[in-house]
Structures are given as structure tokens and as C-alpha cells.
């Protein structure tokens, strides 16, 4: 069985693809996987240095004392031969720094020993299919050629790297556009569609914004335009931010995800960041792998966390569609809040979106022009003004969220309190609140979920998920904390105690789903 390919691609040179690829391979080997680290960077194969494997150098031969003396050339020739002076990498894998790990030069930057030409990614793919390993971690470098993008998109696991610099962020956007073009052309149903897409991409500059090319094709060929929109909705682009130093760097990934979704209509999959750590430079100077030399440093822990997220199951919550059940382009969608958002949640969302679409924000570089930023900010201001004004919000929500028949049926079938209420459960300062305990407290007070929803503006579906601890259907932890806090206030419980204990259960359950490879 061929190894599972993990392709690593950089947004620009110097983002750390070799460092991350080497340490990802080491992490997999340390947990018992047979791993092959492959250097497929056409601009220069240096993955071996990050693995602690030294380069091959020819033997040193001391020059003869008398230059041109008789017999000097003969003695030199007797020591040297073609094999000893050939420093090119072998075609077959060599042993790595730890058991279960091998390293192989892909031959894309220089030919292999005994060959006069460099290899191609297509040839590398055929060679990998014959290797005996569980995983093949392929470092593609930062050369975003068509062949590299195709190899990256076809890999079962893939990851793009960027850093908090304008050119690197702009390079990430370029990778998103190219990946969409490759995926769209590859999914064309017949030659006629493929020819039409080739012509459209050629006219628009080969890698236009996905939302723009989809809109153009919608006018010229509605069926093909709809296929492109479906491709936009299903596309997933995993990426991380390397060399994060400032607090703004830690927020960069989430902001990029929001901005790309707004501009391109594509859902990026942000897997986390790797902090800037002096241990990285120290290990590089010592020619020692980071995870072996400094396994407890911040950067090592970040890499291990990202590795676990990369291999999380496909049905994990992070792979689901965005949790908001609101119409596209509505005020709620613009601010990325749900229907029952409180005024405080709306204010926080407005501040968050305003920070993303700040003209000085690094995220805007290469994504929006000045007019686009102004239009986006005007749309955010409009949504904020409407949703924060009760006189305007209620009519707007009625027009956008028509009451569905099933909602009325659900309201009618909402559980009614019995004549004799069940006894209240015992609660102490050390009580750990679960969903079942919250339901017991609510029933002992004769309160329905509909009544709590009316007071808190939190949908009954979310309240029911909280009681049933259906965490996969709940939003991010920051929203769950707000929901549980409002739930506790309605039940006259200590909001801090309830939210802290419930969030511990929530985070423990979600982390357990990401812990295995």
C-alpha cells in the first residue's frame, strides 16, 4: 500500500516549509509511524539540514608540495574516482536521525547520482507509490508552479504556510486562487466544459478571484457558473501562520479566513500558528532537529498541536460548514452573528469585523483595493446600525427570517411544566455543571426552553444542544461561553461557576476528537 502523502507548500520563500516538514516527519515517527521525508523543493534541496543530516562532500586531498612535479597527477588520480567526487543525492531513501524515519531527495533541484537531468513531480509521485512507509511528508518549497499546485491539491493531506509579512500574505491569496483554478479544471465534467474554463481563466489572467470568475461564468454559462459556486463552497484550503511574534500575528489566521471568505467565497481551514522561538535558530545553528533538541519549547508544542489538527477526522467540527444559520449577505451574515445575538455580541462582532477590514491591516494587502475596503466597511456599518436599533431590527428580521411552520409546531409541543415540579438538585460551590444538571435545574423551576430563549435571544436549538451536550452542533467556545452564561442567569445560578465548569467539559470533549492521528 503506498504511503499517505502530506504536501507542504509555502506562500513565498523563507516561510519555513523545510523546518515544518522536517519536524512534522519527526513527530509522526516518534508516535510509531513509518515516515519518509521528501525534499521536492526545486529552488534548493535543504530539508536534510533541518533533519540533522549532513551534506555529502568529496574527500579532501592535500595538494602536492611541488606543483607540477612528476607523478603528482598519477597519485591524485589513484585517490579520486567519479563516485567519490559525486556529491549529488542518491535516488533511494537514506536513514534519518531517528528510527522509523527516512529521508529522500526528490531530485527536482539537482539530478540524482548517475542521472543527467532533474526529476519531475509526476515522476516523484510514481516513485512514492512504490515506497514502503505510512506517510510521505513532501516539502514542495515555495515554487508555486502549476505542477506543484496540482500535486498539492491531489494530496490526501496538504498544508500551506505563510508568515506575518505583506508579501507572504499576498502569496497565500495567490495560492488560494491557483488551487481553485486547478480544482475547477480538474472537476470539469467533459472536454467542452474544460475548454470553456481554460478560455475563461486565460482571459481573466489564469488565476482570478473565485467569486469573480464564477459570476462571469454565471452570465455566459449558468450551469458552469453554478458548478464553480459549488466548487467554492466545497473547497477547503488548510494553512498555518509561522513565525508569529505579536498579538496581531496570533489573530492573523482567523482574520485571513474571514477576509478570504468575504472576497473569494472560499472557506479556508486555519490550523493554528507557530510562535517565533529563539530555540529554532539555536537548533538550526547546531544542525539538530527542533523536536529532538528542544521538544518542550513553544514552537515544538505548536507544531505538535498543528499535526494533531491536520489529521483530525473529516467529520470534526472544524470541517463543517459555518455554524451560522442565516441567509447570505444578510446583516447577520455580514457581522457573522446568529439571529438571536445580543447587543453585546453585536458590538463585539462589529469591533472584530472593523479590525479585519481596517485599511492598515496586513490582511487587506493583495485582497481588496481602496474602493473595496470602503464598500465593505460601509456594509458593516449599515448592518451594525440596523441590528443595534430595536425599531429597525425587528421588522428586518421578520422580513429575512420568515417563521417556518415547523417552528410553530415546535413551540406548541414545547414541554409544559407538570403540576408537581421535580425537586431541585443539590448544588454546592464545587458542583460541576453538565447539560443534564442544567436540564434538571430548569425542570425543577418549571421553565421551558422557549421561555429561556425569549429572555436570552439564544435559539432553542442551541439551548437543547447545551442540555444534550451535542458539542458538534455548537459554535466556537467563545460563543458557547456566552450562551451558557445567559442560560445560568435565567436559572438564577452562578454564571461564572456554570460557564467555567461547562466549558471544561466542552473543551475536553473537542480536544479528545483531535488527539489521535
Under 8 Å between Cβ of 249 and 274: no
Which pLDDT belongs to residue 62? 64
Listed in order, the ranges of the chain carrying CATH 1.10.260.40 are 422-514
Residue 374, number of CB atoms within 10 A of its CB: 13
Which pLDDT belongs to residue 319? 46
- E strands present in 359-470: none
Residues 6+ apart with CB under 8 A from 6: 24, 135, 136, 137, 138, 155, 156, 157, 158, 159, 310
- The pTM of this model reads 0.76
Residue 421 CA, distance from chain mean position: 48
**Which bin fits 165, alpha (ψ -120 to 50), beta or left (φ > 0)?**
beta
Which pLDDT belongs to residue 322? 47
Which pLDDT belongs to residue 405? 42
Which residues in the chain land under pLDDT 50?
313-323, 404-418
Which strands sit side by side in the sheet containing 236-244, from one edge to the other? 94-95, 101-105, 35-39, 135-139, 4-10, 157-162, 236-244, 267-275
Which pLDDT belongs to residue 412? 41
Listed in order, the ranges of the chain carrying CATH 3.40.50.300 are 1-162+277-321
The class level of CATH for 331-402 reads mainly alpha
Which pLDDT belongs to residue 413? 46
Which pLDDT belongs to residue 251? 93
Which pLDDT belongs to residue 202? 87
Under 8 Å between Cβ of 35 and 101: yes
Report the distance separating Cα 346 and Cα 336, nearest Å.
9
CATH assignment of 422-514, among 3.30.870.10, 3.40.50.620, 1.10.260.40, 1.10.3720.10: 1.10.260.40
What CATH architecture does domain 1-162+277-321 belong to? 3-Layer(aba) Sandwich (3.40)
- E strands present in 443-506: none
Which pLDDT belongs to residue 408? 41
Which pLDDT belongs to residue 327? 83
Listed in order, the ranges of the chain carrying CATH 1.10.287.110 are 331-402
Pairing of strands 157-162, 35-39: unpaired
Which pLDDT belongs to residue 106? 92
Q: How far apart are the first and last CA of the chain?
A: 18
Burial class (CB in 10 A: 0-12, 13-18, 19+), 46: middle
Report the distance separating Cα 505 and Cα 480, nearest Å.
12
Report the distance separating Cα 215 and Cα 205, nearest Å.
15
Amino acid at each position: 500500500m503506498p504511503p499517505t502523502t502530506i504536501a507542504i507548500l509555502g506562500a513565498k520563500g523563507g516561510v519555513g516549509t523545510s523546518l515544518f516538514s522536517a519536524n512534522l516527519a519527526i513527530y509522526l515517527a516518534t508516535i510509531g509511524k513509518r515516515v519518509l521525508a521528501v525534499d521536492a523543493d526545486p529552488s534548493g534541496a535543504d530539508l536534510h539540514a533541518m533533519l540533522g543530516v549532513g551534506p555529502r562532500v568529496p574527500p579532501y586531498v592535500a595538494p602536492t608540495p611541488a606543483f607540477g612535479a612528476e607523478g603528482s597527477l598519477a597519485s591524485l588520480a589513484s585517490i579520486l574516482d567519479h563516485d567519490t567526487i559525486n556529491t549529488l543525492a542518491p535516488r533511494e531513501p537514506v536513514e534519518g536521525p531517528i528510527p522509523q524515519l527516512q529521508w529522500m531527495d526528490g531530485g527536482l533541484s539537482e539530478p540524482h547520482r548517475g542521472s543527467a537531468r532533474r526529476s519531475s513531480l509526476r515522476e516523484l509521485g510514481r516513485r512514492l507509490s512504490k515506497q514502503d512507509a505510512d506517510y510521505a511528508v513532501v516539502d514542495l518549497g515555495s515554487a508555486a508552479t502549476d505542477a506543484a499546485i496540482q500535486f498539492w491539491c491531489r494530496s490526501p493531506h496538504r498544508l500551506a504556510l505563510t508568515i506575518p509579512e505583506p508579501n507572504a500574505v499576498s502569496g497565500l491569496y495567490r495560492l488560494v486562487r491557483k488551487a481553485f483554478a486547478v480544482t475547477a479544471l480538474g472537476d470539469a465534467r467533459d472536454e467542452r466544459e474544460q475548454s470553456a474554463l481554460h478560455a475563461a481563466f486565460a482571459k481573466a489572467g489564469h488565476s482570478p478571484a473565485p467569486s469573480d470568475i464564477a459570476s462571469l461564468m454565471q452570465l455566459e454559462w449558468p450551469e458552469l457558473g453554478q458548478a464553480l459556486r459549488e466548487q467554492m463552497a466545497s473547497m477547503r484550503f488548510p494553512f498555518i501562520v509561522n513565525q508569529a511574534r505579536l498579538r496581531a500575528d496570533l489573530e492573523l489566521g482567523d482574520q485571513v479566513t474571514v477576509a478570504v471568505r468575504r472576497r473569494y467565497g472560499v472557506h479556508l481551514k486555519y490550523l493554528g500558528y507557530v510562535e517565533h522561538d529563539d530555540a529554532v535558530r539555536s537548533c538550526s545553528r547546531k544542525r539538530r532537529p527542533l523536536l529532538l533538541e528542544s521538544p518542550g519549547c513553544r514552537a515544538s508544542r505548536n507544531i505538535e498541536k498543528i499535526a494533531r489538527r491536520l489529521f483530525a477526522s473529516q467529520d470534526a467540527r472544524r470541517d463543517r460548514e459555518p455554524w451560522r444559520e442565516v441567509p447570505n449577505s444578510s446583516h447577520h451574515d455580514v457581522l457573522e452573528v446568529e439571529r438571536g445575538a445580543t447587543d453585546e455580541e453585536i458590538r463585539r462582532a462589529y469591533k472584530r469585523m472593523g479590525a479585519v477590514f481596517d485599511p492598515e491591516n496586513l490582511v487587506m494587502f493583495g485582497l481588496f483595493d481602496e474602493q473595496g475596503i470602503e464598500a465593505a466597511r460601509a456594509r458593516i456599518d449599515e448592518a451594525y446600525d440596523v441590528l443595534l436599533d430595536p425599531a429597525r431590527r425587528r421588522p428586518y428580521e421578520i422580513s429575512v427570517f420568515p417563521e417556518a411552520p415547523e417552528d410553530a409546531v415546535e413551540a406548541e409541543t414545547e414541554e409544559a411544566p407538570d403540576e408537581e415540579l421535580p425537586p431541585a438538585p443539590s448544588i454546592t460551590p464545587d458542583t460541576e455543571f453538565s447539560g443534564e444538571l442544567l436540564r434538571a435545574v430548569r425542570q425543577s423551576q418549571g421553565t421551558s426552553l422557549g421561555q429561556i430563549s425569549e429572555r436570552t435571544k439564544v435559539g432553542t436549538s442551541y439551548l437543547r444542544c447545551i442540555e444534550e451536550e451535542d458539542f458538534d452542533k455548537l459554535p466556537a467556545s467563545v460563543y458557547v461561553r456566552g450562551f451558557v452564561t445567559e442560560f445560568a442567569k435565567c436559572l438564577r445560578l452562578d454564571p461564572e461557576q456554570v460557564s467555567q465548569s461547562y466549558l471544561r467539559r466542552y473543551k475536553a470533549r473537542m480536544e479528545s476528537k483531535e488527539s489521535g492521528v
